[in-house]
Structure 1
Amino acid sequence: MGQNPSVPRPGARFQVIGAGLSRTGTASFSAALETILDGPVYHGGTQITMGPPIEIKSWVRILQYWLDDKGADRLTTMKLIRHRLDGFTAVTDAPCSQLFEELMEMYPNAKVICTTRDPVSWEESMSQIHHMALLWFLRGVLLPLPGMRHFVHYISLLKKQWVKIYGTTNPNRTIYEQHIAWLKEVVPEDRLMFFDVKDGWEPLCKALDKEVPKDKPFPRINDGAAIDQIARYHIRRGLTRWSAICAMIGVTVALELQIFFNIFYK
């Protein structure tokens, strides 16, 4: 977890819907859940950016259906989500943190847990990610990469998701407060928990009726550092792929020119 995608385990029982917004400790939360639920957890950011191309392509399709918001499309959306989450014990991070209503219907026995953070620091952190996702050169740099070439389109769909739910794409404190209010309004009190990863194992294990892991510290993953590293990794991959493509084009042009000169100047 953090930078390594999880692998689904056939037969795993789905138990937790992570409804916390991105940059609220979702990577640490996911790693903690993997320990106490003893099974793989689907962390959206990690699976989509570091998993196989089918991950991001699937969520592009899911979000397109979800945004249409028709009866048949909603059923298709839920079917596709269930297929993507099959074999996992929980899901966290975007885009599922905004799909908790559908997930509650699909998994009626799952606990809804929203990771929390100081709204001011959350706004500052999200603003950095918002800026990074809008870098003008991303689409071109990522084009040679089979999965990540869809990243800019995926982000555009996430923005549409936010507009539909919150009325804006600007990650401000109002959205944070609106998300919390939405959860309190929709999720039954006995099914909802708010959790700050700074509080460690005890409240989380108590809510899920699990034993506190012995001699194992609560995972502390720096979401911001992980995202920065993943971004650099893919940009480096894209530039390397472009270099190889340009080199191949150069060799091809050189060979064509050589053939041309051999034919006409001998």
Structure 2
Amino acid sequence: MGQKSSVPQPGTKFQVIGAGLPRTGTASFSRALEILCDGPVFHCGTQATLGPTIQIKQWMEILRRWLAGTDSDREIMFQTLQSQLDGYAAVTDSPGSQFVPELMELYPDAKVICTVRDAISWEKSMDQVRNATVPWYLHLVLLPLPGLRYFIPYLHLLAAQWEKLYSEAIPTRQSYHRHIAWLKEVVPEDRLVFFEVKDGWEPLCKALGRDIPKDQPFPHINDSDAIAAISKMHIQRGLTRWAAILAVGAAAVAWAVRT
């Protein structure tokens, strides 16, 4: 989680709706859920950037249908959402965390667990991630990459959903608090758990009714390092692809001139 994509396992029971926003320890939480739920976890940020192209395209379809909001759009949205998560034990990170009511309808037995942290430090962290992952030239650099060419339009859809839910497109401490308040409105109290990854296994295992894993420390994945590494990797891939395209173009022009 956070460093490589997960592969669905057919027949896996869906058990947990991760309702925590990005940068609340979702990568560590995802890895912990993989251990406790004995199945792959769909970490949205990781799957969008490292997973197969179909996954980011399906999320774009889900977001478009959600934003449209008609009965026919909602029907297609539910079908696509269920198809996206088939074979996974849980979903974490955004936009999964913004589809809690829909996911509760699809998976009535799943626990809703929201990872949390201090709102002010979360806001600063989100600012850092946004500045690191969305430079002005990113869309052009990613254009030659099959899946990542959709990344900027995908971010625009995420921002539109964010604005509709929290009345602002850019994450701030106010939207963080609005998300928590929204969860308390839409999720029954006995089904909602708030969890800080720094607290380790005990509260998470208690929420899921599982024993604490023996001789296995709680996973701690540095999301910032993972995001920076993934961003750098994709930029290098994009530049390499552009270099190859330009080299082929230059060779074609040179051949045409000679002939």
Are 1:168 and 2:168 an aligned pair?
yes
The whole-number CA distance in structure 2 between the counterparts of 1:207 and 1:31 is 16
Runs of 4+ that moved beyond 6 A: none
SS in 1 for 2:213: coil
What stretches of structure 2 of length at least 5 have no aligned partner? none
Q: How does 1:66-215 map to 2 (within 5 A)?
A: 66-215=66-215
Counterpart in 2 of 1:226?
226
- Contact 1:133–1:152 (CA under 8 A) maintained in structure 2: no
The whole-number CA distance in structure 2 between the counterparts of 1:54 and 1:83 is 11
The whole-number CA distance in structure 2 between the counterparts of 1:85 and 1:186 is 21
- Contact 2:28–2:197 (CA under 8 A) maintained in structure 1: yes
What CA deviation, in whole Å up to 9, does each residue of 1:79-110 have, x standing for no partner? 10000000000000011100101000100000
Q: How many positions carry a matched residue from both structures?
A: 259
1:134 deviates by: 3.6
Counterpart in 2 of 1:237?
237
Q: Which moved more, 1:126-135 or 1:225-234?
A: 126-135
* TM-score, normalising length: structure 1: 0.96
What letter is aligned with 1:7?
Answer: V
Counterpart in 2 of 1:46?
46
1:258 deviates by: 1.2
Counterpart in 2 of 1:263?
none
1:133 deviates by: 4.2
Counterpart in 2 of 1:29?
29
What letter is aligned with 1:10?
Answer: P
- Contact 1:201–1:218 (CA under 8 A) maintained in structure 2: yes
The whole-number CA distance in structure 1 between the counterparts of 2:39 and 2:162 is 30
The whole-number CA distance in structure 2 between the counterparts of 1:170 and 1:157 is 12
Structure of greater Rg: 1
The whole-number CA distance in structure 1 between the counterparts of 2:240 and 2:61 is 28
The whole-number CA distance in structure 2 between the counterparts of 1:187 and 1:19 is 10
What CA deviation, in whole Å up to 9, does each residue of 1:226-253 have, x standing for no partner? 1111111110000000000000011111
What stretches of structure 1 of length at least 5 have no aligned partner? 260-266
Counterpart in 1 of 2:3?
3
* TM-score, normalising length: structure 2: 0.98
SS in 2 for 1:169: coil
Are 1:55 and 2:42 an aligned pair?
no
Q: CA RMSD in A?
A: 0.8
